[in-house]
Structure 1
């Protein structure tokens, strides 16, 4: 199956934030200091983070309380701009390691430790979209999550 996946250069740290900023600005939005703080805080988590986790991290960094509803609005913008992906089953978010490439994703979610691995496999996601269309459905954003145990927890 690895032959069906596509691969990307996956920027990290400052380079990832720079790519995210350019992607957001290309969509006509501004990269404000609060948006940068939210993106940076989310990028620091090694597992998907909830809006409350992010609000707490940003509040500590900013030295003032930041409400989760403000974080949700920014996360919604980020998801729409492809900067962040939402892990639906966990109601949590991860940064998109390649925000300048728009495609569907597959998440492998460990039920034991919460670690989430992101896969790209265009053949599988194209098949899901085709099946939806064949059933008379117009897919907008397929979310594929596989729950189980990672190699470390197995």
Structure 2
């Protein structure tokens, strides 16, 4: 589906790429933003702001409010460091923050996993339909609910 392939960063490489992308966007990489990003990147599945606040609170040894985490996550989404899984009200770290694509999320109803696939062809069609209606689509969001390969195999 994607027109090119990505090297998905992990661990310190991902944090370095995220820091560079945020600073390139004119924002500061503060200790709290670093803590939120590291917590987000540590989740295997989409995480809510409350999940992330709890993880950051444990890491820094003091309570961190979910409202503060929401503000940082909004910044991260705007800077392409994270993506929001709308139907789950949760977030995932973008493993290639230097590359901007529209994507679709494949969300598993059984295990909660959400995988993203770059899908510029699909979202360009969504943008075209919106344009025909006189609407300017800023950020098309496409999510497909169902079963991931692992859950589908175990259900068979």
TM-score (norm 1): 0.96
Q: Which digits, 9 at most, give the CA deviation of each residue in 1:39-95, with x for residues without a partner?
A: 000001000000000000000000100000000010011011110000000000000
1:96 & 1:9 partners in 2: Cα distance?
Answer: 12
**Counterpart residue number, 1:103:** 101
- The 4+ residue runs of structure 1 with deviation greater than 6 A are none
Alignment length (residue pairs): 152
1:139-154 aligned within 5 A: 139-154=137-152
Query: Cα offset for 1:103?
Result: 1.5
Query: Cα offset for 1:129?
Result: 1.0
1:136 & 1:8 partners in 2: Cα distance?
Answer: 34
Query: Cα offset for 1:114?
Result: 0.2
1:62 & 1:93 partners in 2: Cα distance?
Answer: 21
**Counterpart residue number, 1:31:** 29
Q: Can you give the 5+ residue segments of structure 1 that lack an aligned partner in the other structure?
A: none
**Counterpart residue number, 1:125:** 123
Q: CA contact under 8 A between 2:81 and 2:97: conserved in structure 1?
A: yes
1:5 & 1:144 partners in 2: Cα distance?
Answer: 18
> Does residue 91 of the first structure (1) align with residue 68 of the second (2)?
no
1:15 aligns to what SS in structure 2? helix
Q: CA contact under 8 A between 1:27 and 1:81: conserved in structure 2?
A: yes
**Counterpart residue number, 2:132:** 134
Q: CA contact under 8 A between 1:6 and 1:120: conserved in structure 2?
A: no
1:30-109 aligned within 5 A: 30-109=28-107
TM-score (norm 2): 0.94
Query: Cα offset for 1:5?
Result: 4.2
CA RMSD of aligned residues (A): 0.9
1:96 & 1:5 partners in 2: Cα distance?
Answer: 18
2:51 & 2:45 partners in 1: Cα distance?
Answer: 11
